[in-house]
Amino acid sequence: MAIKFQQQPKAALTSEKVVSKDLNSLLQKEIRIGKPQFTDKKKAAFYDELSVLLESGIHLKSALELLVTSEAKAFEKALLDRMLQSLVSGGSLSNCMKNESVFSQYEYIAIKIGEETGNLVEITKQLSAFYQQKVKQKSEIIGALTYPIIVLGTALVVIGFMLNFVVPLFVDIFKQNRVELPWITKSIVTASNFLKDNTTLLLVSFVILIVLSYRIRKNLAFKKMWESLLLKLPILNSYIKNVKLAQFTQAVSLMSNAKIDITKCLSMSAKMISFFPLSNALQVIEQEIINGGKLSVAFEKYDTLFDKKMIALLRVAEETNNTAYIFNKLNKQFTFEVNKQSKLIADVLNPILTIIVGLIVGVILIAMYLPMFKLSNVIG
């Protein structure tokens, strides 16, 4: 007896193929959260690869073609391809970068100087070294602050849970037995009631605060006010200042090695460093040097940013005409200080946060257990 299989309709098969094809294409797509960026880590790799190709004797156009071919990610590939097409059309590499928002004014000017002086290989090497150091500093800062942030976040969750769920349980017991509450317990109960009644409002306010801070952080007036305030903080001011000075001295050291004039070094550094007090000071210092002033004297006027030791080394740089060497030494000093302070902040902040969390939890527990003694007398 022959067995006949029921054949599916052609339309149904076509529909299944379309759905399957759409599903496969959806799964194969790269999911991106937020706007794609050309990060400092990617820039370090880009300049490093470009310098190697140029130093090996490959023409700039061919070097970019190789980089486009080897790039796997769509955003970076499209960026490099646009730069290549602009170069093929007769533009320079610096102009290609100027038209791309992912590159800073500092990079554009550095590459432009490299093209004008025929020193593009050295400039790309220095840019790669600069961004490698920047990535390293950022990872060290993040590493130092990760554990304190985790501790603080966990503490907030624990305290919120206790005030929202544990304290109300005790309050119900006290009300049922008409126990008179001491002042510390009343204060904790008030805080618990406030948190329960305003949880939604507090969460919405927190979200609004984050959105507002994200939107206004690039506002020039707010940026000036906030960064000026950071230099007045008693503990963090030295750390923040050293981080920015490490970036500044590294940039000047690298550019000086590439035989770039000190005034251009200051101008480019002022545009590169996104810290208003320092960038503003560098712009004024640049003008003073252009007008014939001495480097050390110009820096000495900003003693809140530059210490006496740095000024003394700058005098040595003027006398010996060895700017690159002196700024390299200064960079090593500031980098060492940043690393030491990062470790110190982590070492000090962790136990302080642990003690604060323990004290808060301890106060809540004491406040809840004090009326229990009165409750035992009532029941007895």
21-39 pLDDT, tens per residue?
443 443 333 334 445 678 8
Q: How confident is the model at residue 251 (pLDDT cuts 50, 70, 90)?
A: confident
- CATH number 1.20.81.30 is the correct assignment for the domain at 133-380: yes
Q: At 155, is the secondary structure helix, strand, or coil?
A: helix
What are the start and end residues of each CATH 1.20.81.30 domain in the chain? Answer: 133-380
Q: What is the pLDDT of residue 33?
A: 41
Return all residues near 255 (Cβ < 8 A) that are at least 6 apart. Answer: 110, 126, 264, 265, 268, 269
Please write the tens of the pLDDT for every residue from 349-369.
778 888 887 888 888 888 877
With CA atoms as reference, report the closest residue to 32 among 76, 69, 1.
76
H helices present in 89-119, as ranges:
93-98, 105-117
Which range among 142-146, 167-171, 317-321, 326-330 shows the weakest confidence by mean pLDDT?
Answer: 142-146
Please write the tens of the pLDDT for every residue from 259-283.
778 888 888 888 777 788 888 889 8
Please compute the mean of the pLDDT values over residues 231-250 and round it to a whole number: 83
Q: What is the pLDDT of residue 378?
A: 54
Q: Are 148 and 352 in contact (CB under 8 A)?
A: no
- The half-sphere exposure of 117 on its side-chain side, counting CA atoms within 13 A, is 16
